[in-house]
Amino acid sequence: MKSLPAWLKTSILLGALCLPVAAAVQAGVATLDITPKESVWLGGYAARTKPSQGVRQRIFAKALALRDENGTTAVLVTADILGFTQELVSSVAVQVESRFQVPRRLLLFNASHTHSAPVIGAALGPAYPLTGADRTVISRYTAWLGAELVALVGRSIGDLKPAQVSFGQGLAGLAVNRRRVGNPEYPNVIDPDLPVLIVRGDGGAIRAIVFGYACHNTTLDDLLVSGDWAGYAQSTIESQFPGAVALFVQNCGADANPLPRRTEELAIAHGHLIAAAVAEVVQGQPRKIDGPIQAAFREVELPLEAAPPRQEWERRASAGSDMERRYARMMLQQLDRDGRLPTSHPWQAQAWRIGPDFTLLALGGEVVADYALRFKRLYGFRNLWVAGYSNDVFAYIPSLRVWQEGGYEGDTSMVPYGLPARFQSSVEDLVAGTVDELMRALPSR
């Protein structure tokens, strides 16, 4: 430090002592068109009988890189797909870490859960009557997506430049607790919060708007590719704020549907509704967030109930619906291959804290609204964003209440997801315990 002027020596020493230094947040944004170039099975509905027949709306993956004054870089990747798989996420994460030195805890994937985008890898295997040729197309798309996502992350990092980040929350009334359809006595538990992160360039122009909402992207169920209402919300926001990239984060919307639904007009209207709610937050008084980026990542095994014996799978392989038969055959193949069926499944949770009072909690799987409400009650409504559909989407994550009620989100969705039994009743305790550990791992506010 001999050649440095005295004032600079002092600043470096102060920096080393972690005293406040001038804010130097940087942000980078990149987008990738992930519209399939060939006909491919669309994910999410077991009732479809053939692959896609065209494109209603182009679909995208987007990345936002944030770098704090210490050089810590976090990258959020969002995509108009049903869900990321562990296989895809792991492969991208390994390459991102080796090429761009972003460790796993600082790389976060979130899927919009659109039901009008290509099937990814082997996700929801029993749900679709796939031929070998169909599987080849899906594998080709998934491999292409993986390679392109690594490049997308790289482009977002390459775009880093000084930025100002702010956060606000609105409310929107699109989601309805779908478990009440046919069960009107069930409570209308939803998470109506609309968290919004706004990234401005040095001159004040908006470069990115990240918005979250908890509701299935299931307005449409035909054979045309689209991002559903979240796709329309993103394109509407981007045309309303020219130069800005809109990234959608699916929150804990596992038991919420956009109702009414099933027409293109409704999907567009739903998108406009959410975009209007986002604009209110952007034009309101979002709070500036600044400071070091801290991240934590945890994984826990969620135990499954005992699987039926082999004879039961043999019986089911020739009884029930086509999907139930495919499910039973898949279990028999696993028994032949491994001699046993899985007794648990890993579940991942990740948290980012930016500065003293903004936390993004990102949970794996299809997470029901009870969890978002529970964690916001525990850790604060104003500064906490609770996302579901993050990283690996491998099953529904029911709360104890939903587990006790049973039905699709509590039990029978394990058939399309291809797990041999529902979770044990400990599921909520294990999830909440893991989140508590995660929140404690972050520096206190």
Residues that bind Zn ion (CB under 5 A): 366
Closest CA to 84 of 443, 402, 390: 390
For residue 77 the two structure tokens come to 């990747």
Minimum Å gap between C-beta 193 and Zn ion is 19
Nearer to Zn ion, 169 or 413 (CB): 413
Minimum Å gap between C-beta 117 and Zn ion is 13
In whole angstroms, give the CA distance from residue 233 to residue 277. 10
102 sits in which H/E element: none
List Cβ neighbours of 120 (8 Å cut-off, separation of 6 or more).
Answer: 43, 81, 82, 83, 84, 85, 88, 138, 141, 142, 145
Minimum Å gap between C-beta 216 and Zn ion is 6
The DSSP code for 368 is -
Residue type, 52: S
* Cis status of the peptide bond prior to 162, with omega within 30 of 0: no
365: left (phi over 0), alpha (psi -120 to 50) or beta: left
320: left (phi over 0), alpha (psi -120 to 50) or beta: left
Q: Sign of torsion, CA 8 14 20 24?
A: positive
CB atoms within 10 A of CB 126: 21
Nearer to Zn ion, 366 or 370 (CB): 366
In whole angstroms, give the CA distance from residue 35 to residue 296. 32
Nearer to Zn ion, 220 or 295 (CB): 220
In whole angstroms, give the CA distance from residue 95 to residue 209. 27
Nearer to Zn ion, 193 or 366 (CB): 366
List Cβ neighbours of 171 (8 Å cut-off, separation of 6 or more).
Answer: 192, 193, 194, 277
Residues 386/252, Cβ–Cβ less than 8 Å: yes
The residue with its CB nearest to Zn ion is 366
Minimum Å gap between C-beta 218 and Zn ion is 7
Minimum Å gap between C-beta 306 and Zn ion is 26
Nearer to Zn ion, 366 or 411 (CB): 366
In whole angstroms, give the CA distance from residue 359 to residue 352. 6
Minimum Å gap between C-beta 147 and Zn ion is 27
Q: Which of helix, strand or coil describes residue 132?
A: helix
Residues 210/281, Cβ–Cβ less than 8 Å: no
Nearer to Zn ion, 356 or 406 (CB): 406
Nearer to Zn ion, 186 or 408 (CB): 408
Residues 126/330, Cβ–Cβ less than 8 Å: yes
Minimum Å gap between C-beta 427 and Zn ion is 17
Nearer to Zn ion, 248 or 358 (CB): 248
Nearer to Zn ion, 193 or 255 (CB): 255
Minimum Å gap between C-beta 253 and Zn ion is 8
Residue type, 235: S
For residue 259 the two structure tokens come to 């109702």
Minimum Å gap between C-beta 320 and Zn ion is 21
Residues 363/387, Cβ–Cβ less than 8 Å: yes
Minimum Å gap between C-beta 255 and Zn ion is 9
Q: Sign of torsion, CA 239 241 244 247?
A: negative
Nearer to Zn ion, 366 or 392 (CB): 366
